[in-house]
Amino acid sequence: MKNIVILISGRGSNFEAILRASREQRWEQNPGARIAAVISNRPGARGLETARREGIPAVAVDHKLYPTREAFEERLAQEVDRFEPDLIVLAGFMRILTERFVAPREGKILNIHPALLPLFKGLDTHQRAIDAGVRVHGSTVHFVSAALDGGAIIGQAVVPVLPSDTAETLAARGLELEHVLYPRVCRAVLEGRVRLEDGRAVMDDDTARELAIFA
Q: Which phi-psi region, left, alpha or beta, contains residue 120 (left: φ > 0; alpha: ψ -120 to 50)? A: left
DSSP bridge pairs for 13: none
DSSP bridge pairs for 156: 140, 212
CB of 175 to ligand GAR, least distance (A): 5
User: Which is closer to ligand GAR, CB of 157 or CB of 194?
Assistant: 157
Q: In this chain, which residue has its C-beta nearest to ligand GAR? A: 92
Is 55 labelled a binding residue?
no
Is 145 labelled a binding residue?
no
Is 14 labelled a binding residue?
yes
Provide the binding-site residues for ligand GAR, judged by CB under 6 A. Answer: 8, 10-14, 91-92, 94, 112-114, 139, 175, 178
Is 40 labelled a binding residue?
no
User: Which is closer to ligand GAR, CB of 84 or CB of 182?
Assistant: 182
Q: Is 113 a catalytic residue?
A: yes
CB of 205 to ligand GAR, least distance (A): 26
Specify the long-range contacts of residues 157-161, CB closer than 8 Å, at least 24 apart. 157/181, 157/213, 157/214, 157/215, 158/116, 158/212, 158/213, 158/214, 158/215, 159/215, 160/135, 160/136, 160/215, 161/129, 161/130, 161/134, 161/135, 161/136, 161/137
User: Which is closer to ligand GAR, CB of 116 or CB of 194?
Assistant: 116
CB of 13 to ligand GAR, least distance (A): 3
Cα-to-chain-centroid distance, residue 159: 18
For the annotated catalytic residues, the residue numbers are 113
Residue numbers belonging to the annotated binding site for (6R)-10-formyltetrahydrofolate? 69, 94-97, 111
